[in-house]
Structure 1
Amino acid sequence: MGSKIEAAFIDRDGTIGGTGHFVHPDDFTLYPNAQTAIDLLKSNRIKVFAFTNQHRISRGEATIWQFENQFKAYGFDGAYICPHGMPEECECRKPKPGMLHRASAEHGLDLTRCVVIGDVGDTDLLAAHQVGALKILVKTGWGEGSLGAFRHRWKETEPDFVAADILEAVQWIVGRERAR
């Protein structure tokens, strides 16, 4: 019997590693338990996709290819990356759900059977909310601030779960699926 959760969309900076700020793919370090979390999703037949805003690409500070290779090395099934600068109008920059819609079309996903894991409530979780996906906020990166000083920016949206880190988030997903 397959998992009811079809895919997990995971933010990069502050969720699986780094500082919450831009870190070039060559200098990026995963959190100690992030690879275990990614592998746990995959071993439970849940597709894993990167879901990240990377406006520094538009400034020439990195390439989409460098990010895609990084995610491939971690075992992600694909990467959805918004490369646009902040003033540019696009449909992919979180909190807009364009990257999620594109993934749904490309992979035949029911977004209401997907989960978004991120550290920023007013981007990651608002995008998830718009498509009816499960919403998990991790306290790493900007997570504590999202729950505190910046909670007003996404006050109408409640996370389905708040996790200490990416591994606790994935353990919650897997435990929830096994209980079905």
Structure 2
Amino acid sequence: MDKIQAVFVDRDGTIGGTGHFIHPKDFSLYPFSMEALKLLKNQNIKMFAFTNQNRISKNQATIREFQEQFQSFGFDDAFICPHGQDAECKCRKPKPGLLIEASQKYNLDLSKCAVIGDVGSTDMLAAHAVGAMKILVQTGWGKGSLSEYRYTWAEVEPDYVAENLLEAVRWLNHLIN
């Protein structure tokens, strides 16, 4: 496989939290997440946060608070949809607007990028729309995405299903090396 240019990582349910909104000041990473993020950084691959955060539109948090949090975790940049579920935006996953924005900003070939997330009907569909590699983790909503909610993204197969972010990154590293 050609070198992966960037990895997009979902927040809630993928790097930590519960799958539900948690304000950045109260958000906790899973115990293995920093090790996984450091493994990615060691590969010199761009690492981007990729998240829907509709609470921003409800003034319950700011984009800046999320950006600062992602920077503290070592992400190179954060692509955040602040809009509510009913908004007619191009950036709310499963729409691929955040990925397209990143590809334009960083001159990426999205077919040489990977998306790691826990929700099939958002993360995996957005990745599929642009031809990116799809890695589903079973933390957060991941197990449900593979079972009772599989019908919501039935036409798409993940490239890999990982127990968690660390296993996902180790699998990616195996492809790279």
Cα distance, 1:119 vs structure 2: 0.2
Q: How does 1:1-180 map to 2 (within 5 A)?
A: 4-178=3-177
Q: How many residues align?
A: 176
1:93 is aligned with what amino acid?
A: R
Q: Deviations over 1:24-44 (max 9, x none)?
A: 000000000101111101101
Cα distance, 1:129 vs structure 2: 0.2
Cα distance, 1:110 vs structure 2: 0.5
1:17 is aligned with what amino acid?
A: G
2:106 is aligned with what amino acid?
A: H
- CA distance in 2 between partners of 1:105 and 1:36 (Å): 29
2:107 is aligned with what amino acid?
A: G
- CA distance in 2 between partners of 1:126 and 1:142 (Å): 15
TM-score normalised by structure 2 residue count: 0.99
State the secondary structure of the residue aligned to 1:135.
strand
Point out where structure 1 has 5 or more consecutive residues left out of the alignment: none
- CA distance in 2 between partners of 1:86 and 1:122 (Å): 13
Cα distance, 1:86 vs structure 2: 1.0
Q: Aligned-residue CA RMSD in angstroms?
A: 0.6
State the secondary structure of the residue aligned to 2:24.
coil
